[in-house]
Amino acid sequence: MPTDVGRSALSSASTRAWLVRFLAHRFGIEAAEDLVQESIARALAAGSVIRSPRAFLAKVAIRIALEEVRRRPEARFVYEPAAAVLPDAEVAVLLEQTIAALPGPIRDVFVLSRFGGLSNVEIAQRCNLSVKRVEARLTEARRRCAALMQD
C-alpha cells in the first residue's frame, strides 16, 4: 500500500538529508534543519496517502517557511524564489518520482521517447515491440503521469 512505503520514507535518513540540502540552498542551513523537523512532524501527522514522499515533504517545508515569513516578517530567513526556480525544482522532483513510479515496460518506452529522443519506430525496434504497442505504452505513461502529478 502506498501509505506504508511513503510514510516510512518520510523519516528515512536519506530523505532527511535530501530535504536539508534542498532547503539549505533556499533558506540557509540553520533554518533548513528547523524546517525539516517541522515538515516531517506535520507530514506524519497528516495521515494522508503519500505517493511521492520527497515532493510532499518539499511542499510542506516550503509552506511552513512561507507561513513563518508571513507571520513574522523578522524571521531568521528570507524566502526569495529566484525567478521561479523553486516551482521548477518542485516540479522536477515530482516528475522524477512520478516517472520512477511507472511500471518498468511503460517507463522504459516513455524514457526512450521523451529523454532518449527516439521515434516510435526506433523504440519498437529496440524493445522488440510493434509500433502500436509502443504508442499504447506512451499513451498509458502520459495518463499515469497526469494522474500522479495531480495527486
pLDDT in tens, 131-144: 999 999 999 988 88
- What's the whole-number mean pLDDT along residues 124-136? 93
* Domains of the chain, residue spans: 1-83, 102-151
CB 32 within 8 A of CB 68: no
C-alpha distance from residue 133 to each of 100, 102, 118 (Å) = 20, 16, 15
- 98 vs 121, which has greater pLDDT? 121
- Range among 13-17, 25-29, 83-87, 134-138 rated most confident: 134-138
And the C-alpha cell for 144? 499515469
- pLDDT above 70: percentage of residues in the chain: 72
What pLDDT sits at residue 7? 59
Query: Does domain 102-151 bear CATH number 1.10.15.40?
Result: no
Angle, alpha carbons 61-74-35 (nearest 5°): 20
What pLDDT sits at residue 67? 75
pLDDT tens-digit series, residues 27-80: 777 778 888 888 888 878 877 677 777 777 778 887 787 777 666 655 444 444
- 20 vs 129, which has greater pLDDT? 129
And the C-alpha cell for 82? 529566484
What pLDDT sits at residue 132? 96
Average pLDDT, the chain: 75
d(CA 63, CA 84): 15
CA 18, 16, 110, 105 torsion-angle sign: positive
- 109 vs 56, which has greater pLDDT? 109
